[in-house]
């Protein structure tokens, strides 16, 4: 079981953090991959991992694989990742599961300390930010999805600053695609 840990003094968000409310999330596998490919070679002082052997492809995403961009030396210490709703449903063995259900269950599990959340399916964006001690190490995460979307995005890092930098890099990558 994961133990909850403190948020290191980060302020609780009043709305979606780090500009997530300023972008329209990618809606198809090709757009998701394009957003990940557009992420910079360096974020928060960490370079994209040379050991990143995750295939950034629409086929991998549609096959149900978790696709991610890793940052830092092996083993990577930070990542932006995405997984499909279909893969999440298959893993949970629940064909009716929604991302709102998944994130609500995580928020209520006691396995994470929630910093900010908006999990109402009628809202413009689902998100959950918090901390956890998966595998005994403290990490900071942010997960977000469109309420009716097919993709769950996640950023995880060892520090709240790096988590914020990863989400900001994602927002900037998506914004650059629409210009």
Q: What is the pLDDT of residues 31-88, one digit of tens each?
A: 999 999 999 999 999 999 865 555 687 888 878 778 899 998 867 689 999 999 999 9
What per-residue confidence (pLDDT) applies to 136?
78
Distance of CA 118 to the CA centre of its chain: 14
What backbone torsions phi and psi does residue 20 show, to the nearest 5 degrees? -60, -25
What per-residue confidence (pLDDT) applies to 77?
80
In percent, the amount of the chain with pLDDT more than 90 equals 63
Residue 166 burial (CB < 10 Å; 0-12/13-18/19+)? buried
Give whole-number Cα distances, 95 to 32, 46, 90, 127, in Å: 22, 38, 7, 21
pTM of the model: 0.87
């Amino acid at each position: 079981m994961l133990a909850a840990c403190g948020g290191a003094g980060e302020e609780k968000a009043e709305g979606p953090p780090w500009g997530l409310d300023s972008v329209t999330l990618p809606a198809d596998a090709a757009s998701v991959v394009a957003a990940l490919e557009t992420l910079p070679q360096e974020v928060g002082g960490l370079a994209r991992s040379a050991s990143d052997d995750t295939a950034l492809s629409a086929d991998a995403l549609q096959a149900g694989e978790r696709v991610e961009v890793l940052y830092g030396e092996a083993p990577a210490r930070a990542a932006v990742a995405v997984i499909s709703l279909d893969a999440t449903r298959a893993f949970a063995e629940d064909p009716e599961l929604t991302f709102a259900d998944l994130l609500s269950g995580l928020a209520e599990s006691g396995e994470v300390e929630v910093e900010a959340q908006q999990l109402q399916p009628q809202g413009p964006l689902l998100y959950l930010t918090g901390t956890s001690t998966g595998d005994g190490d403290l990490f900071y995460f942010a997960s977000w999805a469109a309420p009716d979307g097919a993709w769950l995005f996640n950023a995880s890092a060892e520090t709240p600053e790096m988590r914020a930098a990863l989400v900001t890099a994602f927002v900037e990558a998506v914004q650059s695609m629409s210009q």
